[in-house]
A = this chain, B = another copy of it.
Amino acid sequence: MGDTSRWRLDVAYRGTSFHGFAAQPGLVTVAGELQRSIATVCRLAEPPILTCAGRTDAGVHATAQVVHVELPTPLPPGRDGTEWSSDDLVRNLNKLLPEAVRVLDATTVSPSFDARHSARWRRYRYLIHEALVAEPLLSELAWHVPGPLDVRAMAQAVGSLIGSHDFRAFCRKVPGTSPGDPIIRLVTEATVAVVPDPGVVDLAQGRLIRIEIQASSFCHQMVRSIVGQLVEVGAGRSNAAELVALLRSQSRQGAARPAPAAGLCLIGVGYDAEVTDGGAGLLEGPNDA
């Protein structure tokens, strides 16, 4: 490759259509589709290397994933010979991508910007539809729980996760780590609330409960493990004290099953302006919710 520039792509996708973000041979993945359309549009001989802010699992959605990639500069000229704007790049990538993934924005960034390591925080949302009967329009967007759930008890319990903790009890084991390794993460926000107006869907019955968690970074299946435990609390089978005890135990023994992937969505990633301009990443560790 000759001269290159680093680009930041803001990406949204319906997780149901993909085997997760990370490219895997023979499987349809978000990264695989992005690589294919970028290679075609930018006339690359090889699929480009992509780095994302949060490597989402199969079935997990994103409205605000961030990716960085090196692209040749200048970009290939359009048919009329004029140089592409970033809007042209976005439009041309989306033409080749399946409907279930969209590039929302493309901007050139400093060569030191790293979608993963420069990220200061990630924010995930989890939706629960509490109702006697499931709502077909929500089947890919929310976890149906018959309930009843005590939302106040859930909100109190989730609040005890705020701060810096060893989240081993709420993480799926990462290959290559030993069980004794601490998994420290800083949770800065954690809320549970009933959605006042479900907006997109007019619920004939039940209610929609939204859980939002923001942290420096997340370990594997952390949000889904927390939500699984919170539903135990909401259903009265556990309580905030047991959740804290589980956190302190640093072990998955006795933990609830992680909540299903469909309810989860990556809704935000934050970067410092200085970091975006050039600072190296200060956060380490795998970021896979």
Q: How far is the CB of A213 from chain B (nearest CB, A)?
A: 14
Contact between B137 and A12, CB atoms less than 8 A apart: yes
Each complex incorporates copies of this chain amounting to: 2
Contacts of A204 in B (CB 8 A): 10, 12, 63-64, 104, 267
A282 contacts chain B at the CB level, 8 A cutoff: no
Interface presence of A44 (CB below 8 A): no
| Residue interface bits A248-284, CB-to-B below 8 A is 1, else 0 | 0000000000000000010100000000000000000
0/1 string, A17-31, CB within 8 A of B gives 1? 100000000000000
Interface locus among A69-77, A171-179, A193-201, A233-241? A193-201
Contact size range, A? 35 or more
Q: What 1/0 flags go to A119-145 for Cβ under 8 Å of B?
A: 000000101000001111111011000
Q: Is the CB of A102 within 8 A of B135?
A: yes
CB distance from A197 to the nearest CB of B (A): 5
**Quick check: which of A93-101, A183-191, A219-227 contacts chain B, the rest being far away?**
A93-101
Rounded to whole Å, the gap between the CB of A88 and the closest CB of chain B is: 13
Q: Given A102-B136, A134-B99, A199–B205 Cβ distance below 8 Å?
A: no
CB-based closest 4 A-B pairs: A199-B199, A200-B200, A14-B136, A198-B199
